[in-house]
Each structure stands twice: as structure tokens, then as C-alpha cells.
């Protein structure tokens, strides 16, 4: 079935599926039509049989009356011609009885007809020939035909019973057919719907695979194969997607290579700039004027900003190139304490208070990625916090996992910008404290790391002011 579907165009698959799904309904309708035709045919046959039987019953009664008339004429006149007439009418009665038997097809009716023939056979006239008394002869005939009348009444009752039973059987058969048709229709509709769902699943399965592939490419996963099984149209589309994947992978590799080369090549002249600015600030070449000190400060600040940007670019590039997280047991408090100590000089210079709130807790995570998340969140909070404010780093466990949060008392992040701050190089409307501008990569690195750690980031307002960034793993 799968190979047959794959060899068919998509439009033809849908057409075939619709046709096959409608087959149960078509079969049910065809059977209903056939059943109705069969019922109508039997009903017509029963009506025709009833008409024939009633007609023959009337003929039978008329024939018996004719026989009685001929017998009485023979008994009164003793003329052999009436005996011959009686015999002829008896023969006609015998033929009529045979036709009656074939039409009625009833054992009781056949017995009554045979009994009538035996009673009215031609030998009935023989005793009248030797009977000298005409009155006695007529009395014998009256008794004989009274019996014949009783038999005819019995035949009439049997005939009506036969027709009534036939009608009742037809009625019962029609009711059974109705119930069966209702059951067939009740089963045909779910079968048709079920088959349609199954066929839709079979046809849509390659489409789901296509959606998955597009999602992988959109998320930057360029290692997965984009081969598609299904109609020819989807196979061609899979080949084009594979070409796109290879092209994007090549471009990504070239970009990463270029980024590594540029960042490494910038380190040497940047180190020289730092050394030169340090010598100038220390007035090693000679005394500086106030204006010269201002220029040297600008040079030193921008060199520091460039150094931070290069460092962040290297971190961002290493996170994006990471194949996956290396899970291990991490002690949260010592790790966060070490991250805090890395910013001691900034904390002292800005007179900030950084508090770690949380007990001793071990988690299973990637140490490098978790350190980068904590370092960038803390750095972001410190740089946006006013002098003398407080930054709280907290963590804890919950039934679904564990969480980590950094809260500051800075200007906060406006609601419309909260989805944009994780985009590389995005700069919000609120600026950081100090003369050194940010790189726009800190929260982007956090977003990449949290994505690889399968975490969820939530940004909320802190009270009375500031921002709380909570990450749940």
C-alpha cells in the first residue's frame, strides 16, 4: 500500500481516498436498492398469486354449480346427453384443480381439492341410473353437493389463510430488511469516516514530516536529513529543502569561521591599545593636560567595550556551535559564588549589594552553559542597577524541576521589548549605568544556553522597581 501511494501524485491520492471512503456508503445504498426491488418483486408476486387464486376459487365455485345443475338435469330427465355434459364439466374441473394446486402450493389445499374431485367424480351419476325414485335421486345429489359446498368453504378459508400468511411473511421480511438496512447504514457511516481518517493520516504523514523538517531548519538544526517519502511532488520538495539545508550549513560554517578569525585577529591590536592607554593614563611618556586625559579615558573606555564585545562574540559563537549539553552534577551555591566573585571589582566600584538566597542544592546540568547563563544575567543586572542598589540571586526546587532567578532594582524592561532582548545585538530603550555601552549579546547568549538546556525564561517586573528574570529547568 505504501509503495502504491508513493507512486501516485498527491491529487490522485486524495481522489482515490475519497472514492474508497465512499465505498461503504455506496455499498449500503446499493444493497438498500436491491433489497427494495426484491421486496417489491415478492410483493407483486404475492398479489398476482392472490388474484389468480381468488379468480380460480370463483371459477371452481362456478364449475361446481354447473356440475350440480347437470347432475340434477340428468336425475330428472335420465338423458345420457346430460351425463356426457357432466363428464365434460368434470374434466374441466379437474384441469382447474391442477392449475389451482400449482398456484396455491399448499398441502392442506391440495388435500381438499383432491377430496372435492373424488366426491364429484363422474361415477356419482351411476347410482342415479338404478334409482327408481326421482325424489331419492335428487336427495342423494343434494347431500353430495352439500358436502361439496362444505369442501369449497374449507378451500376458501384455506385460500384466505394462505394469502394472509404470505402477506404477514412479506411484512415480517420487510421489517427485518429495514432493521438490517438501518444496521448496515449505522456501520457504513463510521466505517467510511474511519477509513477517511486513516487515509488522511497515510497521505498527511509525509506532510507532517515536511513540517518537522522546516521547523528544524528554522531552528538552525542543519544536521538532520531532509529526505521525504511520499508523492513525487514531496520528494522533489525534499530535494530542494536538502539543497537549502546544505547551502545554509555552508553559509553558517563560513560565518562562524569568519567570526573566529576576526575576533582572534582583533585581540592583538586590542591588547596593544590597552597597553598604550594604560601607559598614557600613568603619564609614562610625560604629563598630560586635562583635555588629553579626557581623550585617553574615551580611548580606554571604548577599548574596554570592544574587548567585552569580542569576548561576548566568542561566547555566543561557542554556544551556537555546541552540539549539545554535557550533563553533570553541579553544586549551585559554589558555582554562583564563583560567578559573583568575578564581578567583585564592579560591585565595589558601584557600591552594590549582591545577595545569594538559596540552600545547598545539586542539579544535573551543563556546567559551562549554566555558568554562562548566571554570568550574563548577573552582569546584565549589575550594569543596569543604579549605584547603591541591591541585586538578589535566588534558586530553589519545585515538583517539576528547579529554578534560578536574578532580580535587580534597575529601570526594568518594557513589556513590548521582552521578546526582543534575546535577539543578538538588540539594544533596549533603557541604557546601562556607566560610560561603557553594552554589546547586545548578553541576553542573547542566555537565550541560546537556556534553549540548549531545555529551560524556560520568564521576565517579570520587580517590586518596587527593576526586573526579575526567572529560568525554570
* Tens digit of each residue's pLDDT (9 = 90 or more) over 256-270: 777 667 666 666 776
pLDDT, average across residues 400-404: 86
φ/ψ (deg, to 5) at 457: -100, 135
Please give the Cα distance from 371 to 192 (Å, whole number): 58
Residue 26 pLDDT greater than 70, yes or no: yes
Please give the Cα distance from 444 to 319 (Å, whole number): 10
pLDDT number for residue 67: 80
Please give the Cα distance from 340 to 211 (Å, whole number): 44
Task: Using DSSP, state whether 392 is helix, strand or coil.
Answer: strand
Element (H, E) at 224: none
Residue 324 vs residue 308, higher pLDDT: 308
State the pLDDT confidence band at 278, using cuts at 50, 70 and 90.
Answer: confident
For the four alpha carbons of 75, 76, 81 and 87, in that order, the dihedral sign comes to negative
φ/ψ (deg, to 5) at 273: -65, -45
Give the residue from 91, 92, 71, 93 showing the smallest Cα distance to 82.
71
- Summarised one tens digit per residue, pLDDT across range 224-233 is 777 767 666 6
pLDDT, average across residues 179-196: 77
CATH 3.40.50.960 given to domain 323-472: no
**Percent of the chain whose pLDDT exceeds 70:** 79
Q: Reduced to 3 DSSP states, what percent helix, strand and coil does the chain have, rounded to the nearest 5?
A: 70, 10, 20
Strand 390-398 relative to strand 353-357, pairing: parallel
Element (H, E) at 394: strand 390-398
Give the residue from 130, 164, 134 showing the smallest Cα distance to 54.
164
> CATH for 220-321?
1.10.287.130
Please give the Cα distance from 166 to 46 (Å, whole number): 7
Please give the Cα distance from 63 to 82 (Å, whole number): 15
Please give the Cα distance from 467 to 443 (Å, whole number): 13
pLDDT number for residue 323: 47
pLDDT, average across residues 359-372: 82
- Summarised one tens digit per residue, pLDDT across range 133-162 is 666 767 777 777 788 888 888 888 888 887
Among 302-316, 324-338, 371-385, where is mean pLDDT lowest?
302-316
pLDDT number for residue 353: 86
Angle at 444 between CA 439 and CA 450, to 5 degrees: 145
pLDDT, average across residues 25-38: 80
- State the alpha helices, DSSP H only, in 402-461: 442-452
Q: Which three cell numbers stand for residue 241?
A: 529543502
Among 22-36, 308-322, 399-413, where is mean pLDDT lowest?
308-322
- Summarised one tens digit per residue, pLDDT across range 44-80 is 877 777 777 778 778 888 888 888 787 777 777 777 7
pLDDT, average across residues 393-413: 86
Q: How far is CA 379 from the centre of its chain?
A: 48
Task: Using DSSP, state whether 171 is helix, strand or coil.
Answer: helix
pLDDT number for residue 161: 81
Among 92-101, 193-202, 260-269, where is mean pLDDT lowest?
260-269
- Beginning with the edge strand found earlier in the chain, give each strand of the sheet holding 353-357 in spatial order: 353-357, 390-398, 401-407, 467-472, 456-461
pLDDT, average across residues 420-431: 73
Specify which residues 468 forms β-bridges with.
Answer: 407, 460
Please give the Cα distance from 126 to 83 (Å, whole number): 10
Give the residue from 192, 175, 256 showing the smallest Cα distance to 220.
256
**Percent of the chain whose pLDDT exceeds 90:** 0
pTM here is 0.44
pLDDT, average across residues 181-188: 76
Residue 94 vs residue 275, higher pLDDT: 94
pLDDT number for residue 237: 76
Within 8 A by CB and 6+ apart from 125, the residues are: 71, 74, 83, 86
pLDDT number for residue 231: 66
pLDDT, average across residues 228-245: 74
Residue 168 pLDDT greater than 80, yes or no: yes
- Summarised one tens digit per residue, pLDDT across range 371-385 is 888 888 888 888 888
φ/ψ (deg, to 5) at 359: -85, 180
State the pLDDT confidence band at 308, using cuts at 50, 70 and 90.
Answer: low
Amino acid at each position: 500500500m505504501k509503495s502504491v501511494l508513493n507512486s501516485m501524485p498527491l491529487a490522485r491520492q486524495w481522489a482515490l481516498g475519497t472514492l474508497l471512503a465512499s465505498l461503504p456508503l455506496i455499498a449500503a445504498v446499493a444493497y438498500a436498492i436491491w433489497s427494495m426491488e426484491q421486496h417489491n418483486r415478492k410483493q407483486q408476486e404475492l398479489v398476482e398469486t392472490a388474484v389468480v387464486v381468488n379468480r380460480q376459487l370463483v371459477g371452481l365455485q362456478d364449475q361446481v354449480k354447473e356440475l350440480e345443475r347437470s347432475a340434477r338435469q340428468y336425475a330428472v330427465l335420465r338423458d345420457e346427453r346430460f351425463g356426457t355434459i357432466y363428464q365434460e364439466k368434470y374434466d374441466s374441473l379437474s384441469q382447474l384443480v391442477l392449475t389451482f394446486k400449482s398456484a396455491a402450493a399448499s398441502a392442506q389445499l391440495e388435500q381438499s381439492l383432491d377430496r372435492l374431485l373424488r366426491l364429484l367424480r363422474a361415477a356419482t351419476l351411476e347410482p342415479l341410473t338404478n334409482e327408481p325414485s326421482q325424489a331419492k335421486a335428487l336427495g342423494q345429489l343434494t347431500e353430495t353437493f352439500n358436502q361439496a359446498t362444505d369442501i369449497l368453504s374449507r378451500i376458501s378459508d384455506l385460500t384466505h389463510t394462505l394469502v394472509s400468511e404470505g402477506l404477514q411473511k412479506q411484512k415480517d421480511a420487510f421489517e427485518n430488511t429495514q432493521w438490517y438496512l438501518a444496521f448496515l447504514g449505522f456501520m457504513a457511516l463510521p466505517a467510511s469516516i474511519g477509513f477517511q481518517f486513516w487515509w488522511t493520516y497515510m497521505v498527511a504523514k509525509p506532510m507532517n514530516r515536511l513540517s518537522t523538517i522546516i521547523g528544524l531548519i528554522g531552528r538552525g538544526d542543519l544536521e538532520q536529513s531532509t529526505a521525504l517519502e511520499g508523492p513525487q511532488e514531496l520528494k522533489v520538495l525534499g530535494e530542494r529543502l536538502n539543497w537549502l539545508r546544505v547551502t545554509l550549513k555552508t553559509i553558517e560554517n563560513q560565518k562562524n569561521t569568519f567570526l573566529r578569525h576576526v575576533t582572534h585577529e582583533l585581540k592583538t591590536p586590542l591588547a596593544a591599545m590597552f597597553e598604550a592607554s594604560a601607559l598614557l593614563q600613568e603619564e609614562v611618556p610625560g604629563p598630560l593636560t586635562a583635555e588629553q586625559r579626557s581623550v585617553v579615558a574615551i580611548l580606554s573606555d571604548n577599548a574596554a567595550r570592544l574587548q567585552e564585545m569580542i569576548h561576548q562574540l566568542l561566547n555566543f559563537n561557542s554556544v551556537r556551535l555546541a552540539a549539545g549539553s554535557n550533563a553533570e552534577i553541579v553544586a549551585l551555591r559554589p558555582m554562583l559564588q564563583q560567578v559573583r566573585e568575578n564581578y567583585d571589582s564592579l560591585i565595589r566600584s558601584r557600591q552594590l549589594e549582591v545577595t545569594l538566597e538559596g540552600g545547598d542544592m545539586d542539579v544535573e546540568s551543563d556546567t559551562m552553559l549554566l555558568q554562562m547563563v548566571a554570568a550574563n544575567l548577573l552582569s546584565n543586572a549589575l550594569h543596569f542597577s543604579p549605584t547603591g542598589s541591591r541585586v538578589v540571586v535566588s534558586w530553589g526546587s519545585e515538583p517539576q524541576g528547579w529554578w534560578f532567578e536574578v532580580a535587580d532594582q534597575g529601570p526594568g524592561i518594557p513589556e513590548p521589548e521582552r521578546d526582543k532582548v534575546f535577539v543578538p545585538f538588540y539594544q533596549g530603550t533603557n541604557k546601562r549605568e556607566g560610560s561603557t555601552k553594552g554589546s547586545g549579546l548578553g541576553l542573547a547568549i542566555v537565550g541560546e544556553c537556556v534553549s540548549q538546556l531545555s529551560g524556560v525564561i520568564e521576565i517579570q517586573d520587580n517590586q518596587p522597581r527593576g526586573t526579575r528574570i526567572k529560568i525554570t529547568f
